[in-house]
Amino acid sequence: MIVGLGALGCPAADLLARAGVGRLSLIDRDIVEATNLQRQTLFDERDAAEALPKAEAARRRLRAINSGVVIEALVEDFAAPDAERIVSPHPRPDVILDGTDNFETRYLINDVAVKLGIPYVYGAAVGTTGMAFTVIPGQTPCLRCLFPEPPAPGASATCDTAGILAPVSIIVAAAQVADAMKILLGKPERLSHTLLSFDLWTNQRLPPQRLDVSAARQPDCLCCGQRRFEFLDGQRAAEPAILCGRNSVQIAARPGTTLELAQIADRLGPHGQFILSAFHLRGTLSSGATPIGLTLFPDGRAIFEGTTDPVAARMLYARYVGV
């Protein structure tokens, strides 16, 4: 299972499909945009023009690469209310790869992996730096053993502030896939139990440095020691979410929400131009002083493009969606 089809998830999925992995479950909440094409290698300009959901665009591309792989595309938000449900029945994966771009989701994946006993291959790429590490629940340190708390807001670079050098993401994804293959082939003894870390631009830690973290497991770790799953239980949830590099805010609906997009399209007609597809309702709200892009999904999620103000996004959601 790959959570996130961005700079890391795209090359990871490509490598696994070409290697002949039996099944891939692809999870992403977002749509393809032209700005993604610099580093998200499964997509092309047509995907961006059609605003295809990333999971679906990746599925189509991977099916053309290797039709023998069973590929499931889940256009969903991997968030606390639904994360365990998403992982458990699809069927339950043998390994979870991290293709995300934010700390909250990484800690959520860590919670799910530890609770269910599923290996988790962590990866991160921002600016010119990359990191990777594999968690084997019950045997190795988990993510919270190494980093007990996410960095404070604004304390670390993001793809908004630093971008991503595409070769960095390729290196990290390749390291992740190598570890995933060792797990899938039943060779966990081949795992290095190290934290990969490098800066490809300044040449610091090159060749990539591997830090020995085999003894870093903490008996009192909140997650794997005390088995307190704060991110999975929703205690640490942060909604709405500002989407990395998108000048956009995502609003999540209540669990169990189902929208009739055709009816909403009719209702939004006087306020802008919208196109209804099988996957979403997408267009521009032009009633206000500044046009705001809106992508609305059947599960009630909405992405407002043209703002990073969560309060403004919530107001727009209440005004135009009303859920």
Helical (H) or strand (E) element with 198: strand 194-199
Vertex 319, ends 313 and 323: CA angle to 5°?
Answer: 90
Sign of the four-CA dihedral 134, 136, 137, 138:
negative
Phi-psi sector, 37: left (phi>0), alpha (psi -120 to 50), beta = alpha
Q: What does the longest C-alpha to C-alpha distance in the chain come to?
A: 62
**How many C-beta neighbours within 10 Å does residue 69 have?**
18
Q: Determine which one of 10, 142, 145, 159 is catalytic.
A: 159
Phi, psi of 294 (to 5 degrees): -135, 125
In whole angstroms, give the CA distance from residue 85 to residue 104.
18
Query: What DSSP line would sit under 13-60, residue for residue?
Result: HHHHHHHT-SEEEEE---B--GGGGGT-TT--HHHHHHT-BHHHHHHH
Active-site annotation holds for 244: no
Taking alpha carbons only, the member of 46, 55, 53 closest to residue 9 is 55
Terminal Cα distance for the chain, rounded:
31
Which active-site residues does the annotation give?
A: 159
